[in-house]
Structure 1
Amino acid sequence: MQALFDIVLPIFAIVASGYLCGYRNILGPESSQALNAFVYWVAIPALLFNAMANVDLAQVYNLPFMLGFTGALAAIWALTGVLGRYVFRLSAAESALHGLNSAYPNTGFMGIPLAIAAYGEEAALPAIVATVISVLSVGLAVIPIEIARQQNSNILKIVARVLGALARNPMIVAPCAGLLWAWGGLGLPVFVETYTSILGAAAGPCALFSIGLFLVGKPLTEGSMEVASITLAKLILHPLLTAGAVLVLFPTDPLWAMVAILSAALPIGSGPFVLAQAHGIYVRRTSTVMLVTTLLSVVTISGFFVLFPTHP
């Protein structure tokens, strides 16, 4: 339990630091967008390239885990995306982010350290694989957003523009380049390893700080029903579906299954906020729901550890 508080409270502290700086206008009115642009175009691509270039493809290939974890993530995304579109009357692009918010877990900042603290160093590998799958889902969210933006064009123009957007999207290009490097079997040169590691380490803190800056002057009670639906889907429905997937549909190694369920039970990470602010879509709801799910995750993750106890 102490490990949970040790991980959750620093996240709140970083967001609060950003809020205080924004409230005092220390960094200027455009600081949130500028910092978010740095995360989107520089820090996250470095993080993704480094992570994928250092992957041992043979070691991470666990088909039942990948099918179960990815399938549950996709199902939650689709279900809540449809809910956003037809119940809350969101635009197609907003619905895509509504669904992504319900399915994207904070595996990088919370999942990896929590898994290691609970189940030992051997839990690091499935937690890293879950992180890679989750981060790639943010890049794929560009597809419905770009399609929604081109609704009045013919099908060929839509396909061309979506492919062009994907080819320019750093969240797609960086991990694909890293995978190609890993497939070639070459280790990263020391300079590239150090460069991408330093920049990548800045992605999470800067994104969290940017959320705090953005929240200054924004009402957190607006859109409460949307926030409530995302919170319920993320903290309750997502881990339940993941448990069914990795325990019943695609039986997985027990350790990998526990890490998959733990990852799904985590609150929303900063990835959707980075994407939302980069495209100017659904930013306020995304920032609010990240704070709400992070706070409530203290209860839901504690419940997880009751069902799946940690090592003594």
Structure 2
Amino acid sequence: MLAVLLVVLPVASLIAVGFFARLANLVSDRAGEGISDFVYALAVPCLIFRTLAKAQIPAVQPWGYWISYFAGVAVVWVLATVAARQLYRVNSAEGVVAGFSAGQANTVLVGIPLILKAYGEEGAVPLFLLIAIHLPIMMTVATLLVEGRGASPVTILRRLVTHPIVVAVLAGSASRLLPTGVPDLAWLIIEPIAGAAVPCALVAMGMALRRYGLGSGFGLPAVITVLKLVVHPLVVYLLATQAFSMPRAWAGVAVLFASAPSGINAYLFAERYRSGVGIASSAIGLSTVLSLFTTVFWLAVLGVGVN
């Protein structure tokens, strides 16, 4: 329990820094929006590029592993979107944010340390394999859902190929073809920007929590939290252990990855489109706090301890 608390605590602490900094008027709402723009347009793309450029991709793809995880994403994304649109009457962009919040996991601050503590080196390969494609796929799908409404195919294509996230995915994938790899000088620029993504994003989200509070109400963030912390890992668990055959560690990694709270990128996406920010920030804050308890449950289900 203490080990899980120590994993979640830094996330909550950085969010609290942003919240109280804004509460004390040390920073303005405009500053928070500027930080969010920096993270979305520069820091996260650098993080994606670094992940894809350095990822070890196996020659034979573990399709059961991919299907188990992303089928869970699809289920909670659809359920969250339908609930948001039908029960809470949000607009289409806010519905995308709700679905994204239910499917996007906080991998960097919660998923990585928790999974490596639970499975050690045995879990490293499936973990970083999933990380390499998780964010690019989620961001690209969410962008298509928002950008694709009412736009011509040419406009959609133009927006996608100039979108910072998509550019990062394409550049990171292309960099793997370089015979000598990415030059060291380029890493001197990319690494510090990528390293700023997570702390800056969490502080900015704390500022957004102060600005929006539970402006979207408690109901929808609570629905998203249940979908993220309970339904998503449950679907993945059933598929990974009952429908497909894979090593025990791989199934466990997929479940714990799915059980992580809503990721900061849902908030960044909402800020990018200035829609559903209250939904995303509230869902992230609530799911982060409650994940302390649900993570202990999923560790018990998987029969592993955090060393």
Common topology (TM > 0.5): yes
Which residue in the other structure is 1:255 paired with? 249
- Corresponding residue number in structure 2 for 1:98: 98
Q: Which residues of 2 match residues 176-191 of structure 1 at below 5 A?
A: 176-184=170-178, 186-191=180-185
- Please report how far the alpha carbon of residue 217 of structure 1 lies from its aligned counterpart in structure 2 after TM superposition: 4.3
Spell out structure 1 runs of 4+ moving beyond 3 A: 183-186
Q: Which amino acid aligns with 1:251?
A: S
How much does 1:235 deviate?
Answer: 0.7
Aligned residue runs from structure 1 range 77-156, under 5 A = 77-136=77-136, 137-148=138-149, 150=150
Q: Which residue of 2 aligns with 1:297?
A: 291
In the TM superposition, what whole-angstrom CA distance separates every residue of 1:25-48 from its partner, at most 9, and x where no partner exists?
223331111000110111011111
Range moving further from structure 2, 19-28 or 136-145: 19-28
Given the alignment of the two structures, is residue 50 of structure 1 paired with residue 44 of structure 2, yes or no? no
Cα shift readout 1:198-250 (whole Å, capped 9, x = no counterpart): 11111011000001112224332642111121111111100011112212223
For 2:229, the equivalent position in structure 1 comes to 235
Quote the offset at 1:189 in angstroms.
1.4
Q: Is the 8 A contact 2:213 2:282 kept in 1?
A: no
Conserved? CA contact 1:277–1:283, under 8 Å:
yes
Whole-angstrom CA distance in 1 between matches of 2:29 and 2:105 = 29
Counterparts of 2:66 and 2:192, CA distance in 1: 29
2:279 is the alignment partner of 1:285:
yes
Residues 114 and 306 in structure 2, CA contact (< 8 A), matched pair in contact too: no
Q: Offset at 1:121? A: 2.3
- Using the TM superposition, give the Cα deviation of residue 251 of structure 1 relative to its aligned residue in structure 2, in angstroms: 2.3
Give matches, 1:163-182, under 5 Å: 163-182=157-176
Equivalent in the alignment of 2:204? 210
Residue of structure 2 aligned with 1:267, choices 256, 261, 266: 261
- Quote the Cα distance in structure 2 between the aligned partners of 1:202 and 1:122: 29
Is the Cα contact below 8 Å between 1:140 and 1:172 reproduced in 2? no
Asked if structure 2 preserves the Cα contact closer than 8 Å seen for 1:67 and 1:250, the reply is: no
User: Where does residue 153 of structure 1 map in the other structure?
Assistant: none
Q: How has the CA–CA distance of structure 1 residues 267 and 163 changed in structure 2, closer, same or farther, with 3 Å as cutoff?
A: same
Question: What is the count of residue pairs matched by the alignment?
Answer: 305
Asked whether the 8 Å contact 1:60–1:125 carries over to 2, the reply is no
CA separation in 1, counterparts of 2:306 and 2:279?
A: 37
CA distance in 1: counterparts of 2:13 and 2:59, whole angstroms: 36
Compute the TM-score of the two structures, normalised by the length of structure 2: 0.93
Q: Is the 8 A contact 2:37 2:272 kept in 1?
A: yes
1:120-163, CA deviations, whole angstroms, 9 ceiling, x for partnerless residues? Answer: 12312222223233312023201111123x2xxxxxx5222221
Secondary structure at the residue paired with 1:261?
Answer: helix
Q: Which region of structure 1 is more displaced relative to structure 2, 240-249 or 263-272?
A: 240-249
Aligned-pair identity in percent equals 28
1:294 deviates by 0.4
Aligned to 1:25, the other structure's residue is in SS state coil
Name 1:310's counterpart in structure 2: 305
Name the CA distance, whole Å, in 2 between partners of 1:45 and 1:5.
Answer: 29
Query: Are residues 1:226 and 2:220 paired?
Result: yes
Higher mean C-alpha deviation, range 74-83 or range 163-172: 74-83
- Residue among 195, 204, 228 paired with 1:201: 195
- Check 1:270–1:60 CA distance in 2 against 1; reply closer, same or farther (3 A cut): farther
**Alpha-carbon separation, structure 2, partners of 1:36 and 1:167:** 21
**8 Å contact kept, 1:46–1:197:** yes
Unaligned 5+ runs, structure 2? none
> TM-score normalized by structure 1?
0.92
Backbone CA RMSD of aligned residues: 1.8
AA in 1 matched with 2:13: A
C-alpha displacement of 1:185: 5.1
Q: What SS does structure 2 have at the residue aligned with 1:44?
A: helix
Equivalent position amino acid for 2:142 in 1: A
Asked if the contact 2:97–2:279 (Cα under 8 Å) also holds between the matched residues in 1, the reply is no
Contact 1:92 1:144 in 2 (8 A): no
Kept in 1: contact 2:105–2:258 (CA 8 A) = yes
